[in-house]
Amino acid sequence: MALRILEYVRPKTLEEAFELLQNEGAEILGGTTYARLSSRTIKLAIDLQDVGISDIYEEDGYIVVGAMARLANMQFHDLIMNYANGYLYDAISYVWSVQLRNIATVGGTVVPKWGFSDFITAVLALSTEVEFYKAGRMKLEDFLENPTPRKDIMTKLLIKKEPRKASFKFMRNSVYDFSIVNAALSAKEEEGKLVDWRVAVGARPGVAALSRKAMEVLNEGYDDEHIERAVNAMKEELKFADDFRWSGEYRKEVAGVLVKKAIGEVIG
């Protein structure tokens, strides 16, 4: 069985879309690329392309990315290409193919919290927030660590525009495959120092998470001894599990190597 849609609507406003979503069996459509792989019936499919949440712009010190922006629009936007030395431009370029990135949306990528996601790991390593129509604005890590707002619409991804150095690393069997484990790091540049480190590891195979213990260690210092301690803290703190691709134990070791390499790149 494939995906079955009984009724399709294209509301003009977010208010209208939200009201429609409250109907039983109603669901939001992003780019429909992943929804396509499932076998279920959607009674009412709500297409958000006309509700005005596709733009990318700067506001109050944040890069704001509408939830209906396509991954490719985001990748090639000047605000993204010029941010943190093109870090996100590069990370997004590893999401499958050009043809997929031209369709897949930011909302459809963040809301399902897929473990394999490269995108979520990459944005989690920055100071990022998400905004929902009803539930409002929250830190990305709070969104990932708590139940997803039910029957709600993600409207924006907000990336704080601050001077950050960042690095994204992954391990996969070939470039055109899913990450078996991935890691992203960033630190803020302040008066010649690197502060406010963020360490995210994804595809463990669970969804990306921050290693707060590793962040604490790096905030104390980033010489060789601190780097070693940060890597060990990350390996102790985060859960790694087996799946059909790799064992959790192997993932953990590789994650350690990726984090160490990424710290090296951020330090420069």
Ligand X SMILES: Cc1cc2nc3c(=O)[nH]c(=O)nc-3n(C[C@H](O)[C@H](O)[C@H](O)COP(=O)(O)OP(=O)(O)OC[C@H]3O[C@@H](n4cnc5c(N)ncnc54)[C@H](O)[C@@H]3O)c2cc1C
Residue window 45-64: x/- pattern of binding to other proteins, with contact defined by CB under 8 A: x-x-x---------------
Residue window 51-80: x/- pattern of binding to ligand X, with contact defined by CB under 6 A: ----------------x-------------
Contact between 98 and other proteins (CB under 8 A)?
yes
Contact between 6 and other proteins (CB under 8 A)?
yes
> Which residues, numbered 123-182, are part of the site for other proteins (CB under 8 A)?
175-176
Contact between 5 and other proteins (CB under 8 A)?
yes
200 contacts 208 by C-beta, under 8 angstroms: yes
Determine phi and psi for 103, rounding to 5 degrees: -110, -45
Q: Please pick, from the candidates 105, 167, 186, 211, the single residue that binds ligand X as defined by CB under 6 A.
A: 105
CA 95 to chain centroid:
11
Residues belonging to the chain: 268
Residue window 169-208: x/- pattern of binding to ligand X, with contact defined by CB under 6 A: ---------x------------------------------
What are the start-end ranges of the H helices in the chain?
A: 14-21, 71-75, 78-81, 87-92, 98-101, 106-110, 118-124, 140-145, 212-220, 224-237, 248-267
- Residue 33 burial by Cβ neighbours in a 10 Å radius (0-12, 13-18, 19+): middle
Provide the token pair at 253.
Answer: 């070791």
Q: Under the phi-then-psi rule, with left for phi > 0, alpha for psi from -120 to 50, and beta for the rest, what region is 241? A: beta
Residue window 63-92: x/- pattern of binding to other proteins, with contact defined by CB under 8 A: ---------x---x----------------
Judged by beta carbon, residue 203 or residue 230, the one nearer ligand X is 203
Among ligand X, other proteins, none, residue 105 binds (CB under 5-8 Å by kind): ligand X
> Which residues, numbered 141-160, are part of the site for ligand X (CB under 6 A)?
153-154
DSSP H/E element including 206: none
